[in-house]
Amino acid sequence: MKLHGLRLHHLEMPLVAPFTTSFGTQTSKRTFLVEANLIADDGTVWTGWGENVALPDPVYSPEHLEGAALVIERWLAPALFAADDVTAETVGHLLRHIVGQQMAKAAVEMAVLDAQLRADGRSFASYLGAVAPTVPSGVSVGIQESVDATVRAVGGYIEQGYARIKLKIQPGADLAPVAAVRKAFGDELPFQVDANAAYTLVDAAHLRRLDEYGLLLVEQPLGEADIRQHAELAARMTTPICLDESVVSAEAAADAISLGAASVINIKPGRVGGYLEARRIHDIARAHGVAVWCGGMLETGIGRAANAALAALPGFTLPGDISGSDRFYAEDLLTQPIRMHDGVVDVPTGPGFGVQVDPDRLEGFRTRLVELSPER
């Protein structure tokens, strides 16, 4: 198929509650969707949707929202418009001359993939090789203003039926809330923590105290570049170390595994350059006996639907951050929002990502529209 046009829908969506991590607090979700229009050989135009997961500021990764949009406008879109044939499998090759920019590339690849699968009448789950009709739904709990507030928040999500709790931590807000959650809800609660690179190896003795609480894992305790230091920390702790920000590609995942820096990997498709690279990481980890799970970036229903299909692959043995749309948004972009029920989310079975964007809701959240074409 030939790429006929791209539209970048810049959005701002209010969150149902502030979400705090070690690198800041979000009260709304600023993002942009990529709408790709591809023409098949018979002249039929197929539309697909992708979602960019970059934050407004470069605090989680080197990329940021406006930069990702600019990269698409100035470099990625022209390269794809110039190609005689564009498929999801060739997007990475066509854009290989652009260094890095995984989140920008992932959003474009995602839109092309959705359109391609819709043209084939095939679901994303079938394309990937998903093996489960539902996936367990975990929830990510931000840093609260107090220990008591943390316990209340966790209790609320347990009552809603979430299958696993992940608690954000940072220096000064770690041992006390973890201990309180364990005391309140018992040792049987599937429970893990996420530091978002807030510590250094100097904190190893402090982090070892987390071993007392029977956590599933501690996610990204050290900096993005600290692969060797993570390996040293892993040797000192009994709690499994999970890498997030450090894994930006299948190559990086292979390096981390070979160095003993991770016994678990959080796969976020946007962070690694797209769903095809995410599947490669899954395959590498599974071959080495390393567990993987699907992380979240406060995605809209488009990204949630795609993540659910990814998490249905056989190597995803731990619950991911695949909550219902209403975890973060009072109103989502879809005609049928993603719902959590009985602790699980259904894997969509319709063509493409299996969801439909509601045009009225899209327009209501849109702050800017950028249209790109081969002539521009």
| Pairing status of strand 191-194 against strand 264-267 | unpaired
Tracing tokens 């260094």 back to the chain, one arrives at 99
Length of the chain: 376
Spatial separation of the C-alpha atoms in residues 194 and 5, rounded to whole Å:
39
Neighbour-count burial for 235-262, b at 16+ CB within 10 Å, e otherwise: eebebbbbbbbbbbbbebbbebbeeebb
Measured from the Cβ of residue 326, the count of other Cβ atoms closer than 10 Å reads: 15
Which residues are tagged catalytic?
168, 268
Measured from the Cβ of residue 35, the count of other Cβ atoms closer than 10 Å reads: 21
Cα–Cα distance for residue pair 154/152, rounded to 1 Å: 6
Report the number of secondary-structure helices (H) and strands (E) in the chain.
14, 14
| Cα Rg of the chain, angstroms | 20
Q: What is the DSSP string of 270-285?
A: HHHTSHHHHHHHHHHH
The Cα angle at residue 267 between residues 256 and 109, in degrees rounded to 5: 115
